[in-house]
Amino acid sequence: MRTLIINTLILLSVFILSENCFANSQTQKQEKEKPIAEIRNENGKFTIYVDGKPFLLLGAQLWNSSAWAEYLPKIWPQLKELNCNTLEAPVYWQDIESEEGKFNFENLDSLIYGARKNGLKLTVLWFGSYKNGSMEYTPAWIRENQEQYPRMLNAAGEPVYVLSAISRNTIEADKNAFVEMMKHIREVDSAERTVIMVQPENEPGSLQTDRDYSEAANKLYFGNVPDELTKGLNKTSGTWDEVFGIEAAEAFNAYYIARFINEIAAAGKEVYPVPMYINVWTKENYFWRPGEYPSGGPTSNMIDIWKIAAPEMFTLALDIYHQNYIDFKELCKKYKRADNPLFLPEMGNGINFARYQFYALGDFDAIGIAPYGIDPFYIDPRENRTKQVLDSKFHPMAENYKMFGKISGKIMELQGTGNLKAAVEEHGLGEKLFHFDNYDLLLQFGFPNRDKKGQITGRVLIGQLSNDEFLIAGFDAKFVFRPKYKSGFSKAEYVLAEEGYYKNGEWHTQRLWNGDALYHSVLPPEGAVLRIKLKRIASSDKLQVAPNFEK
């Protein structure tokens, strides 16, 4: 009898234990399940959420022909050196479906597993029907069958190297491949969520012609502009020429290409709904007419059309290679809109673009930035192909990313509040003065006179944390605080100047600045993040008051 009782008790506890384990593992599984990446618009402020948390995308894009399994092992160390958190890499239609209907995702898997292993997130760039205003990455079976997959015709009726955006066959073929790719991503990644975004197509539009002049396209072109467009744009209906005048050909191309891309994106999202965006080859300053830049892409004059025809894109993203900071800022201004957060998935490299990243984050609330061609030695035979270190062109950005990583939460928190600013050194711009609520802040560059080899390197983000507290993060700049003019105070005293970083939202102090450090108050070439607390001192110091204003 005793043994029976003991056995029953043992059985009972094993049952209870296993039940508990099952319940626990279920909860753990639920807890562990990572949410898919998403873009949230909270009171007009856009944020990328990754693994359920705000994420500042500090990216790097591969050179066009580098996303191959055999090449990637040499690239991971360089990405680590760059301190980036996201890799942007192409998936080539001609690779995944080299034979019609047969799919091979070996290279995509290397990207996903490799990124995951290296602690990176991944943005997939779909090189499908459109790549830089042409059809460079389409499979041979698409290129060789012009009957079924027609090209756009130019005004002389000659086919160009661009697929027609109105061909149902092409849309279906591209969509089919894209959806297969999204299914594969869902299959291999929905537990880990390494893939956070997809860019369906790359710099779409048509080079060599301002629009498609095929018979089918002409028929549409000489008809009326579709209602959704005229209504959406608040224009009276009419033909393309009547409604859009000199921009008619471009607007026509934009509408049909945007619809093409929207259709494949919608189908892809049905399978796996990661955020999708499209990037632009800009028209500004170098190109005279559509066709010299991809006509019908999301260029600044076509943004409104794209917004109507491609609502699946969370943003029209800016590829930006303009070396001149005025051009850079002008373009950022055009692409940062209430309906379009600024995202720079491609930018140039070197110290200029390292400085411009500060404008993007500080003045234009960019949600992501990424230099292009992180592994350029693969294409340039003069370079040592065995080299696995980051090219020196990217070193200033590696320093930036290290610093942005320390304050990314704060950057995102301050963006859109008016309390984040950028101070950037430019030729002929040696100072920048800010007026905050209680203080004026002057940033001076080129001090002390270091040997910077003629380079201008000063770049700072300034965040007002409270009326008397500031975050200053940057390189090569001197800072000077004064109480706001006419505020009745004559001096700004440092209560505390802490150098450090944020980790999981908590500030961590590495050292306090005082003595010579504060006397000079210069951010060093390797950069520093400071949290500064000030106090205003009242005095009757008349020198602070301009004589003309004395009562």
CB of 421 to ligand DGJ, least distance (A): 30
Which of 126, 372, 378, 479: binder of ligand DGJ (CB under 6 A)? Answer: 372
CB of 66 to ligand DGJ, least distance (A): 11
For the sheet with 459-466, list strands across it.
420-424, 459-466, 469-475, 528-538, 489-503, 506-512
Residue nearest to ligand DGJ (CB): 203
Residue 123 or 444 having the CB closest to ligand DGJ:
123
CB of 226 to ligand DGJ, least distance (A): 29
Residue 363 interacts with ligand DGJ (CB under 6 A): yes or no? no
Residue 203 interacts with ligand DGJ (CB under 6 A): yes or no? yes
Residue 241 or 327 having the CB closest to ligand DGJ:
327
- Measured between alpha carbons, how far is 272 from 188 in angstroms, rounded to an integer? 12
As a 3-state breakdown, the chain gives helix, strand, coil percent values, each rounded to 5, of: 35, 30, 35
Residue 90 or 527 having the CB closest to ligand DGJ:
90
Q: Tokens at residue 119, please? A: 């602690």
Please tell me the total number of residues recorded for the chain in this structure. Answer: 551
Residue 247 interacts with ligand DGJ (CB under 6 A): yes or no? no
Residue 280 or 423 having the CB closest to ligand DGJ:
280
Helix/strand/coil (H/E/C) assignment for every residue in 184-246? HHHHHHCCCCCEEEEEEEECCCECCCCCCCCHHHHHHHCCECCHHHHHHHCCCCCEHHHHHHH
What is each CA distance from 334 to 199, 331, 448, in whole angstroms? Answer: 20, 5, 36
Residue 400 interacts with ligand DGJ (CB under 6 A): yes or no? no
Contacts of ligand DGJ in 505-534 (CB under 6 A): none
Residue 134 interacts with ligand DGJ (CB under 6 A): yes or no? no
Binding mask 82-121 for ligand DGJ (x = CB under 6 A): ----------------------------------------
Residue 202 interacts with ligand DGJ (CB under 6 A): yes or no? yes
Residue 126 or 213 having the CB closest to ligand DGJ:
126
Which of 85, 86, 129, 132: binder of ligand DGJ (CB under 6 A)? Answer: 132
Q: Helices in 367-418 by DSSP H: which ranges?
A: 395-414
CB of 296 to ligand DGJ, least distance (A): 16
- For residue 292, the SS3 value is coil
CB 407 within 8 A of CB 502: yes
Q: Torsion-angle region of residue 446: left (phi > 0), alpha (psi -120 to 50) or beta?
A: left
Contacts of ligand DGJ in 29-68 (CB under 6 A): 64
- Measured between alpha carbons, how far is 498 from 468 in angstroms, rounded to an integer? 14
- Measured between alpha carbons, how far is 50 from 175 in angstroms, rounded to an integer? 26
Residue 372 or 404 having the CB closest to ligand DGJ:
372
Residue 136 or 426 having the CB closest to ligand DGJ:
136
Residue 346 interacts with ligand DGJ (CB under 6 A): yes or no? yes
Number of H helices, E strands in the chain: 15, 24
Please report the beta strands in 356-458, taking only residues with DSSP state E, as ranges in sequence order: 368-369, 420-424, 431-435, 439-445
Residue 319 interacts with ligand DGJ (CB under 6 A): yes or no? yes
CB of 319 to ligand DGJ, least distance (A): 5
Residue 201 interacts with ligand DGJ (CB under 6 A): yes or no? no
CB of 361 to ligand DGJ, least distance (A): 21
What is each CA distance from 251 to 210, 315, 316, 458, in whole angstroms? Answer: 9, 19, 16, 41
Residue 371 or 458 having the CB closest to ligand DGJ:
371
Contacts of ligand DGJ in 462-481 (CB under 6 A): none
Residues found near ligand DGJ in the complex (CB under 6 A): 64, 132, 202-203, 319, 346, 372
